[in-house]
Amino acid sequence: MKILAIYPYIHLSSAALLIDEERFDRQKMSTSFPSKSAEWCLKSQGLKWEDLDMIVVPWNPMRNVNHASKRWVSEMNWRGQLLSHVPIQVMRAIDGPMENEMEIRWGKTRIIYMNHHECHAANGFYLSPFEEADILTIDGHGEDETCFFGSGKGSLITQRSNVIYPHSVGLFYGVFTDFLGFTPDVDEWKVMAISSYSQEKNEYDEKIRSLINLTDKGFELDLTYFDYFSFDRRPHFYHQKLIDLIGEPRKKNDPITSRHQAIAGAMQRVFVETVTHLLKLSEKHGTKSGNIVISGGAAMNSVFNGLLDNMDIYKNSSISSCPDDSGVAIGAALLAWHRYSNKPRKIQEQTHNFWGPSYSDDEIRDTLQKFKIPYEEPANLTEQIAKEIADGKLVGWFQGAMEFGHRALGNRSILADPRKESTKDVVNAAVKYRESFRPFAPAVLEERAEEIFELRPGRKVRFMERVVPIRPEWTGKLGAVNHVDGTGRAQTVERNLNPRYYDLIKAFGEITGVPVLLNTSFNLNGEPIVMTPEHAVRTFFSCGLDMLVIGACVVRKNKR
């Protein structure tokens, strides 16, 4: 069965089988129709549009049109509106419960619109190692839901209950992202990074806590403090009442003060408390399998995720590499497959996110030769590059297939020596030009991870999805990746999943005694991660990187 999923016109436009659109159209967080990524998906498998059995979309607009105002839908302006006008009128006539999915079909072509939160759930569950698990999804909002409680067993996902818009944990976080001068739906992780500067409870904790009422069905927000749901009125996600409660918001370019840190810290603590409550509810009403899958944009909160192994709620937890809207196209494709293929589920835990385009060494050499760029191909590539990183060089690292989603995991990465705190400033000055409060991530050899980080035995963190404490004896050796609260967004690296990357970190460890590299995505601030060799070369020559390691080739700036 050949299924293509597309998710157009939102901030993380994507297609599956499987690639995000921004890398193709070169617009960061592209919202365009993902035709380029969809075409790559098809071409990479030797398929044409007409070969597809179905096209699926991780959003069911029937739920939205059903709520459309009568004045918008009582008359047609052009005949194309028959597409929505007829279903709306029929829905009104029948007045029955809304189905989770709808289908449009002409000829052999089928387009199936699926429930957004079910697609989040499918992304999390079908990529997890669990035969059976409870599933909790939390995001800004889907068609009308903001939270899904359910479970998965074999190939079946069932919903138990939900929380309905406008009560939303994701938008609660968005409110404070906006309040602190950042862009909601985009910059939440910056607020999470700032929150680490405030570890102790402060005057804002109780005030922000009072905005959420935890209930036996989930939670309710005191909506009088918010304004994200009054679309035509809002300049901001928050209401004047929030300013009256906690003071003036930060303007975009204002410096970040200890007050902003205190607000971010208090809000993150309330977020943790709320999601912990939802987890407890999920467990109380769930299957008692001991397993939980968390998905939706809130599962990008790696600080919260890092706490999961120490909570006494679920024994095991799983979070995919792309739990947010970047992964709902994948979720939709998997959901449709399990719903329509009539084949039993083969449990296939996601072990990597290298699902994008790759380029052969010949293609890479052609690009370098076309641009008349001198390069060498050292026989002992990883040893040599490890030595140069230990000598302070900044390396653009381009290998194999591009990562899907937000996080570069060693195929489109910038790598540096993690030992000295000053390296953060060097990377920021040379390449990233980004805010100094944002930490860089450590990539660590899997077998050394528990020695360096406070990870539970056997815990793999393949997608940087959990922030964990660095053991005190190592914090002094990891100055560039040690966040203000002594934590790191670790990535454990296994040799069988990425041998060249693993060998590089191992060689660096043998030279320095520190089997860790600083890993950040290979892009300039505000640009998408590089995809092709040409992107890599252009980015390399537009910034202060010292070396580009691209396939087997090494390019140096100071080489004539």
Residues lying near Fe ion in the complex (CB under 5 A) are found at 139, 325
Q: Tokens 């599962």 identify what position?
A: 299
CB of 497 to Fe ion, least distance (A): 28
Minimum gap (Å) between residue 67 Cβ and Fe ion:
18
Closest residue to Fe ion, judged by C-beta, is 139
How many DSSP H helices and E strands does the chain contain? 20, 22
Q: Which is nearer to Fe ion, 168 or 482 (CB)?
A: 168
Decide: 455 and 467 in contact? Cβ < 8 Å. no
Q: How far is the CB of 319 from Fe ion (least distance, A)?
A: 14
Closer to Fe ion by Cβ: residue 21 or 325: 325
**What's the closest the beta carbon of residue 454 comes to Fe ion, in angstroms?**
31
Residue with smaller CB distance to Fe ion, 134 or 325: 325
Q: Kind and range of the H or E element at 425?
A: helix 422-427
Angstrom distance (rounded) from CA 337 to CA 340: 5
CB closer to Fe ion, 295 vs 399: 295
Q: Report the DSSP pairing between strands 19-20 and 14-16.
A: antiparallel
Distance of CA 171 to the CA centre of its chain: 16
Distance CA 101, CA 99 (A): 6
- Tokens found for residue 29: 């967080």
Nearest one of 268, 262, 260, 267 to 307, comparing CA atoms: 268
| Closer to Fe ion by Cβ: residue 242 or 328 | 328
Identity of the residue, 141 or 506, whose beta carbon is nearer to Fe ion in the bound complex: 141
Q: Which is nearer to Fe ion, 283 or 325 (CB)?
A: 325
**How many CB atoms neighbour CB 106 within 10 A?**
7
Please say which residue, 325 or 403, places its beta carbon nearer to Fe ion: 325
- Residue 503 identity (one-letter amino acid): D
Nearest distance in Å: CB 258, Fe ion: 33
Joined tokens for residue 435: 């805010």
- What's the chain's length in residues? 560
Strands 3-7 and 54-57, bridge-based pairing: parallel
Q: Which two tokens stand for residue 253?
A: 């370019």
DSSP string for residues in 428-451: IIIII---TTSPPEEEEEGGGHHH
Residue 20 or 325 with smaller CB distance to Fe ion: 325
CA–CA separation, 158 and 146 (whole Å): 16
Between CA 545 and CA 543 the distance in angstroms is 6
> Closer to Fe ion at the Cβ: 134 or 185?
185
Of the candidates 403, 378, 380, 395, the residue with the CA atom closest to the CA atom of residue 549: 395
Report angle CA 340, 342, 344 to the nearest 5 degrees: 125
Q: Which is nearer to Fe ion, 325 or 446 (CB)?
A: 325
Task: Kindly state the smallest distance separating residue 327's Cβ from Fe ion, in Å.
Answer: 9
Task: Give DSSP secondary structure letters for 499-518.
Answer: HHHHHHHHHHHHHHS--EEE
Shortest distance (Å) from residue 208 CB to Fe ion: 23
User: Are residues 305 and 296 in contact, defined by beta-carbon separation less than 8 angstroms?
Assistant: no
For residue 113, the minimal CB distance to Fe ion (Å) is 15
Helix, strand, or coil here: 333? Answer: helix
Question: What's the min distance (Å) between Cβ of 295 and Fe ion?
Answer: 9
Q: How far is the CB of 141 from Fe ion (least distance, A)?
A: 7
- Shortest CB 506 distance to Fe ion, Å: 38
